[in-house]
Amino acid sequence: LGVDFALTTSCYDPDRSGRACGRCDACVLRRRGFDELGWPDPASIRPDPDLVRAEDRTEVGSEHPER
């Protein structure tokens, strides 16, 4: 089709910059479609605030060395 999928959106609730939420039905269906094709989705998806990256986690007590 020659479509630049980075210029498309399916999200019901994009943020002000146009990044997809990644959670709505349309985002889930889009992700499933790209997954089934084996293609990466080039759409910009905003970070999920409920997820914490492993490198951002702190071990309990690591900020206070044992005395």
Q: Please provide the DSSP assignment of 23-45 as one string.
A: -SHHHHHHHHHHHHHT----S-B
pLDDT for 65: 52
Rounded to two decimals, the pTM is 0.65
* Domain locations along the chain: 5-48
What are the angstrom distances between the C-alpha of 18 and each of 3, 26, 55, 63, 64?
A: 18, 14, 27, 37, 41
Q: Which residue ranges of the chain lie beneath pLDDT 70? A: 49-67
pLDDT confidence of residue 43 = 86
